[in-house]
Structure formats: structure tokens, C-alpha cells
Amino acid sequence: MSAPPLIVLTGAGISAESGLATFRDNNGLWERHRVEAVATPEAFARDPALVHRFYNARRAQLADPAIRPNAAHHALARLFAAWPGPALLVTQNVDDLHDRAMPGSAALLHMHGELKKIRCTGCGHGREWAGDLSPQTPCPGCAATGTLRPDIVWFGEMPLGMERIEAALHSCGLFLSIGTSGQVYPAAGFCAALRGRARTVELNLEPSLGSHLFSEAIQGKATEIVPGYVETLLSKQKQ
Ligand code: APR
């Protein structure tokens, strides 16, 4: 059987059982902050020290040995290693759990940026960053201060890799959406864009806002439903 071009979209729900908080499951607060207070260019302009402290804490959390890829991240790594057709893993997550489960994979695209990357708004220098940032941290590229920011896509900013995502959507035959509430565009619109052209499957703890648009919706915890779904898909490909 020939394999349809695959896109998997993931959101915070896939990392929840690894110990990372989702965005909208806690009365609209993300780690006790309103999203608009820490995840907008306006918030950064108003109080860069607060925004840096917030992202420093999120980045430091990734170094906690208890925070590890879970069975759902590993199942997707198996899927991507074995899928015989084109495949793209688009994550909205800024954590590095997919990266750790499938190191060096060219199929992984962080459309909302990465906690472990920073960039300079002055000279454009970008690099990996494991430690803390503050408004006083000099840019390793141009030595300016006050210009470094987390390489995260904030509300109102353009997601990364959209050309590649749109090209993949154009030819997609199978779309899986895992652990995302479907509230943030453009990712929330991918399923509707594929309607009638691709098989679309939602795997989420609860039905998302756009759940009715999918060909199939499976409810449960990611670690419980994703590995089984992946094994079924792979065994169908072998038939
Ligand atoms: N397994 C599967 N799904 C889960 C689990 C779990 N263990 N726990 C929670 N979920 C589901 C929730 O039911 C919810 O529908 O994951 C979804 C998480 O939704 P959000 O918190 O809204 O996260 P996400 O969809 O990734 O947010 C999108 O919003 O704030 C921005 O840029 C940020 O990338 C983020 C974007």
C-alpha cells in the first residue's frame, strides 16, 4: 500500500503528561500568568524583565530530569522513522520534547519557535541558549544589550515555516492533530483547509473547538491513545 503524505500537528496536550502545563487548562492562566501578559510583543516592550523571567523559568524547567519525552512523543518518533511517504511534524510547542524523541529529524518544524533558542532584534543573530536571559545580557553577535529575546512566536507575530507547511498541506493525504485545543490560528485552520482532500484525525483529551470538522476524533490521554493509533497506522502500511 502506498503511504499518503502525512502531516502531524501537535500542541501542549502532548507534553502535559511529561509535566509541562498546557495553555488553556488552568482557568486561562499559563503558569499563573495571563498569556497576554507574557506572550505578546507589547508585553515584552512594557516589561522585558518580567517576560525574560517567565521564559527563563520555562527554559529551566526543560533541564529538570523529570521532564522527559513521553510515550506519545516516542510513538511519533517511530511513526516518522517508518513512514514510507513524505511526512512533516508541525508542533506548536516551544519545548524540546519532540527534538529529544527524534534527534536531528528534518521532519520537525517548530511553528511557534523554541524555548532553547534566542535571537537579537538588532543584528538578527540567532543561536541555541540553555541559560537565563535578562535585558542586560549582551548579544553574542553585536554586543548590544536590551535586544535579545526568546525565539518564540508571540501573539500577533507570524508563525515560522508557513511556506513549508502550506506546501505540505497542499499535497497532504493524512492529517493528525494531537493535544491542541484548536483555538490559535493558523494551526486551528489546517483541518478545515484539508476538508474533502485528506483523511483528518483528532487525538485529544476532549473534543476541540473544531472537532466536528475531522473525519475521526479519538478522545483520551496522549500517552494512552497515540501509541496504539501509531501502531495501527504502521501495521496498515505493511499490509
Ligand atoms: N493528552 C491529550 N490531550 C490533552 C492532554 C493529554 N494528556 N492534556 C490536555 N490535553 C488537551 C486539552 O484538552 C486541550 O484541548 O490539549 C489541549 C491543549 O490546548 P492548549 O492549552 O490551548 O494548547 P495549544 O492548543 O497547544 O495552544 C496553541 O496557543 O498560547 C498559544 O502559542 C501558544 O502554541 C500555543 C498555542
Across 225-238, average pLDDT: 94
Closest-lying ligand 1 atom to the alpha carbon of residue 12: 26
Torsion angle of C-alpha atoms 26, 32, 34, 36, degrees rounded to 10? -120
Q: What is the pLDDT of residue 239?
A: 74
Across 13-18, average pLDDT: 97
Q: 95: which 3 cell numbers?
A: 519545548
**What stretch of H or E contains 169?**
helix 162-171
Q: What is the pLDDT of residue 25?
A: 73
Confidence check: pLDDT of 21 > 90:
no
Write the pLDDT tens digit of every residue in 96-155. Answer: 999 999 999 999 999 999 999 999 999 999 999 999 999 999 999 999 999 999 999 999
| Residue pair 170/186 in contact by the 8 Å Cβ criterion | no
Question: pTM for this one?
Answer: 0.96
Amino acid at 157: E
Write down the mean pLDDT value for the chain: 95
Ligand 1 centre to CA of 46 (Å) is 27
Q: What is the pLDDT of residue 107?
A: 98
Q: What is the pLDDT of residue 195?
A: 86
Ligand 1 centre to CA of 34 (Å) is 15
**What is the band of 1 on the pLDDT scale with cuts at 50, 70, 90?**
low
- Residue to mutate, 151, 178, 180, ligand 1, most ligand atoms under 8 Å from C-beta: 180
Q: 231: which 3 cell numbers?
A: 501502531
Q: Name the percent of the chain lying above pLDDT 90.
A: 89
Confidence check: pLDDT of 196 > 90:
no
Q: 209: which 3 cell numbers?
A: 473547538
Q: What is the pLDDT of residue 214?
A: 97
Q: What is the pLDDT of residue 28?
A: 62
Q: What is the pLDDT of residue 166?
A: 98
Q: What is the pLDDT of residue 103?
A: 98
In eight-state DSSP terms, residue 85 is: S
Query: What secondary structure does DSSP assign to 2-56, as a single string?
Result: PPPPEEEEE-THHHHTTT---SSSSTTEETTEEHHHHSSHHHHHH-HHHHHHHHH
Write the pLDDT tens digit of every residue in 25-42. Answer: 776 667 778 888 899 999
